[in-house]
């Protein structure tokens, strides 16, 4: 038996994205790269939630189609999708605020490199 | 009646320009919150289903004594800070003042939302709303503040992401994100590894937001460079609301076995470390605002210690400390923030002889400082008393010792300033000041600071009534 079943591959993907993102946020020196890593990390969580909603052989949870096809149709759980829609909105607005802050930092200090910035602040 | 309570929440967000609205809305919210708390105390928790969807599908708002009490605290501080912000706003351009007003109201409504929601995911959304508003407010300090804010934003987002992932695990176990529903289903779900991972992620996420040592790295910088009214509010309230969220999740949602027990015992040691580290670091600071920020790290340690000991006395102490510390910290930052206009610096030396230039402000400062040290008639003494009692009940001698030692440390760093304020010779007041005899600082700055100082004293004097009337009802069933 392999370590992970094929059906769980998306969880591996989610975990990978999370870790890549976290690693990037810790290691990268440039603030823009840190921000991008943050986005990668958030996508990891979104993949995780959407995977939870999956069901084998599930169809999209649209009522009209189900009425046509009969009552007991397996369908994907719509709640995590709704939650993630909100999470995506949150992540977009966070990114927006972060970019605005970066623009101000760049105007003031002419750099977005963490080490350089700390040097200037120490002056 | 229910609508009357929710309307200010929504109304605050759309409230934009008018300065009056900024002051009035939190005041209205305060009145509503007090009313709602009374109802909750008299006739049990009060449920409101947003959009008419019944839980567990719809979002539910719950006013129980715990959440209602926190809402009253938040609304009270928001009202006072809104008044305090007046003179500061007159000094900046109208456009920036408008931005301040709307962000401030957004922050307040986010925090009120956290205290009232009955839904874990909704709590995440409110957490992010309040955080985003806080980033905007903190960054308005300019220059260094923007850099500090950006780093705070990264760390805050990691925290929120952890929390969200934790919810994901709990959702996978139970299929619900409603708090009451989760509390019912989780014991049946057992305590497997998914549960453990979920609990750990949620606790770590909220601990970062609370700035619990050793996850406090973002805080001192963010606090030092922000404008005074902003910091007065954020320092006082934000970490407290996260502490509330942690209390809510650990004691009202999760079953008290397995992973939660372990989490609590880990938290208690972390908190004890935080109490000591915060006090020692505070001692090493020369900038008063930085010192206050580190003292917050220590004081949040007390709160977490109270939570993690988990018996009735310790929890009472934690809740009383949340209240007392929020009020006292707002008073301290408010007093410091109203001074530098004249002293032009916020380092300890700058406070020399300040009592002669601003006697009333300094009296309030001293009162709040005494409360944090834990001198009897103030709020701090009684919350520490309960915490100590809780530690002794739990036979946790090391923690009792930690509480006492750190009280001594905080006495050292606060008396260092108080001594300067009253006994050191400072620059004499300028002639023009003396001849005109104008008030020491603008009345709008002075009023809220004095009120907060008085509240610190009142909470101390009437702590018995507060405990029996509200806090006892707010405790989880143990």
Query: Is B215 in the A-facing interface, judged by CB distances under 8 Å?
Result: no
Query: Which one is predicted more confidently, B29 or A71?
Result: B29
- State the pLDDT at residue B49: 61
Structure token pair of residue B264: 């609590």
Chain B nearest C-alpha distance from A5 (Å)? 18
Mean pLDDT of B262-278: 81
**Would the pLDDT of B350 be above 50?**
yes
- Would you list the DSSP string of B150-193? HHHHHHHHHHHHHHHHHHHHHHHHHS--BHHHHHHHHHHH---H
Mean pLDDT of B14-32: 61
CA distance linking residue B177 with residue A60, whole number of Å:
22
Q: Identify whether the C-beta of residue B304 lies closer than 8 Å to the C-beta of residue B271.
A: yes
- Of the candidates B151, B417, B216, B456, the one whose C-alpha atom is nearest the C-alpha of residue B325 is B456
**Would the pLDDT of A73 be above 70?**
no
> CA Rg, chain A, in Å?
21
Structure token pair of residue B397: 């001698």
Chain A nearest C-alpha distance from B143 (Å)? 7
- Band (pLDDT 50/70/90 cuts) for residue B44 is low
- Other beta carbons within 10 angstroms of residue A74's beta carbon come to 9
- State the pLDDT at residue B430: 46
Query: Which one is predicted more confidently, B329 or B55?
Result: B329
Percentage of chain B modeled with pLDDT above 70: 72
Query: Is B125 in the A-facing interface, judged by CB distances under 8 Å?
Result: yes
Least confident window among B52-56, B208-212, B246-250: B52-56
B462-470: list long-range contacts, CB under 8 Å, 24+ apart.
B463/B320, B463/B379, B463/B382, B463/B383, B466/B320, B466/B323, B467/B316, B467/B320, B467/B386, B469/B41, B470/B37, B470/B41, B470/B65, B470/B69
Q: What is the pLDDT of residues B93-108, one digit of tens each?
A: 666 777 777 777 778 8
**Would the pLDDT of B237 be above 80?**
yes
Q: Identify whether the C-beta of residue B207 lies closer than 8 Å to the C-beta of residue B158.
A: no
Q: Residues of B73-103 as b/e, b for ≥16 C-beta within 10 angstroms?
A: bbbbbbbbbbbbbbbbbeeeeeeebbbbbbb
Q: Count Cα atoms within 13 angstroms, Cβ side, for A103.
A: 5
Structure token pair of residue B336: 């410091």
Q: Identify whether the C-beta of residue B59 lies closer than 8 Å to the C-beta of residue B122.
A: yes
Contact call for B147 and A49, based on CB within 8 A = no
**Would the pLDDT of B162 be above 60?**
yes
- State the pLDDT at residue B299: 83
Query: Is B389 in the A-facing interface, judged by CB distances under 8 Å?
Result: no
Q: What is the pLDDT of residues B136-145, one digit of tens each?
A: 888 877 677 8
- State the pLDDT at residue B74: 82
CA distance linking residue A82 with residue B369, whole number of Å:
47
Those of residues 34-63 in A touching chain B at CB distance below 8 A are 34-35, 38, 41-42, 45, 48-49, 52
For residue B464, give every residue at least 6 positions away whose Cβ sits within 8 Å of its Cβ, in sequence order, or none: none
- Band (pLDDT 50/70/90 cuts) for residue A66 is low
For residue B15, give every residue at least 6 positions away whose Cβ sits within 8 Å of its Cβ, in sequence order, or none: B21, B22, B25, B101, B102, B105
Those of residues 137-156 in B touching chain A at CB distance below 8 A are 139, 142-144, 146-147, 149-150, 153-154
Instruction: Look up the pTM and report it.
Output: 0.82
ipTM over 0.90: no
- State the pLDDT at residue A68: 59
Contact call for A49 and B154, based on CB within 8 A = no
- Would you list the DSSP string of chain A? --SS-GGGHHHHHHHHHHHHHHHHHHH--BHHHHHHHHHHHHHHHHHHHHHHH--TT-B---HHHHHHH-S---B--HHHHHHHHHHHHHHHHHHHHHHHHHHHHHHHHS--BHHHHHHHHH-
Q: What is the pLDDT of residues B366-398, one digit of tens each?
A: 878 888 777 777 777 888 888 888 888 877 778
Cβ–Cβ pairs < 8 A, chains A and B: 70
- Band (pLDDT 50/70/90 cuts) for residue A4 is low
**Would the pLDDT of A72 be above 70?**
no
Q: What is the DSSP letter of B432?
A: H
């Amino acid at each position: 038996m392999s370590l992970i079943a094929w059906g769980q591959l998306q969880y591996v993907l989610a975990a990978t994205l999370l870790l890549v993102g976290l690693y990037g946020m810790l290691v990268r020196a440039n603030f823009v790269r840190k921000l991008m890593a943050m986005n990668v990390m958030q996508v990891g969580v979104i993949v995780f939630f959407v995977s939870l909603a999956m069901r084998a052989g599930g169809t999209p949870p649209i009522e009209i189609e189900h009425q046509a096809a009969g009552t007991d149709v397996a369908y994907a759980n719509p709640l995590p999708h709704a939650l993630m829609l909100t999470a995506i909105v949150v992540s977009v607005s966070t990114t927006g605020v972060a970019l605005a802050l970066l623009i101000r930092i760049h105007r003031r200090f002419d750099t977005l490199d963490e080490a350089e910035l700390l040097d200037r602040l120490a002056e | 009646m229910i609508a009357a309570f929710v309307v200010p929440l929504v109304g605050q967000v759309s409230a934009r320009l008018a300065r009056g609205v900024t002051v009035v809305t939190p005041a209205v919210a305060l009145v509503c919150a007090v009313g709602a708390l009374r109802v909750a105390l008299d006739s049990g928790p009060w449920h409101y289903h947003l959009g008419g969807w019944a839980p567990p599908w719809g979002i539910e708002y719950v006013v129980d004594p715990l959440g209602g009490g926190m809402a009253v605290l938040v609304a009270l501080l928001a009202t006072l800070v809104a008044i305090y912000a007046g003179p500061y706003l007159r000094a900046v351009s109208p456009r920036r003042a408008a931005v301040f007003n709307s962000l401030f109201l957004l922050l307040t409504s986010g925090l009120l939302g956290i205290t009232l929601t009955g839904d874990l995911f909704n709590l995440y959304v409110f957490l992010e709303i309040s955080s985003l508003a806080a980033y905007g407010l903190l960054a308005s300090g300019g220059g260094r503040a923007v850099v500090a804010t950006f780093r705070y934003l990264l760390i805050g987002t990691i925290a929120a992401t952890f929390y969200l992932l934790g919810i994901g695990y709990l959702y996978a176990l139970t299929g619900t994100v409603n708090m009451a529903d989760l509390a019912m289903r989780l014991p049946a779900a057992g305590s497997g590894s998914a549960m453990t991972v979920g609990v750990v992620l949620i606790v770590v996420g909220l601990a970062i937001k609370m700035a619990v040592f050793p996850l406090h790295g973002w805080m001192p910088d963010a606090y030092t460079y922000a404008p005074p009214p902003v910091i007065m509010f954020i320092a006082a309230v934000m970490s407290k609301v996260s502490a509330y969220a942690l209390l809510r999740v650990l004691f009202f949602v999760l079953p008290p076995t397995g992973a939660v027990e372990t989490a609590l015992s880990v938290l208690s040691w972390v908190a004890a470390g935080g109490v000591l580290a915060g006090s020692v670091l505070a001692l090493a600071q020369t900038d008063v605002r930085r010192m206050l920020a580190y003292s917050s790290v220590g004081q949040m340690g007390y709160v977490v210690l109270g939570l993690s000991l988990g018996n009735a006395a310790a929890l009472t102490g934690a809740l009383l400390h949340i209240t007392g510390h929020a009020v006292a910290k707002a008073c301290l930052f408010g007093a410091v923030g109203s001074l530098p206009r004249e002293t032009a610096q916020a380092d300890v030396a700058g406070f020399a002889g300040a009592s002669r230039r601003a006697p009333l402000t300094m009296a309030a400062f001293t009162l709040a400082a005494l409360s944090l040290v834990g001198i009897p008639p103030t709020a701090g003494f009684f919350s520490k008393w309960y915490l100590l009692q809780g530690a002794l009940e739990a036979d946790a001698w090391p923690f009792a010792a930690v509480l006492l030692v750190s009280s001594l440390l905080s006495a050292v760093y606060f008396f260092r300033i108080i001594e300067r304020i009253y006994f050191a010779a400072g620059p004499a007041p300028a002639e023009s000041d003396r001849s005109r005899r104008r008030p020491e600082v603008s009345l709008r700055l002075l009023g809220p600071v004095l009120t907060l100082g008085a509240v610190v004293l009142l909470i101390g004097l009437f702590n018995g009534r507060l405990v029996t009337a509200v806090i006892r009802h707010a405790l989880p069933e143990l």
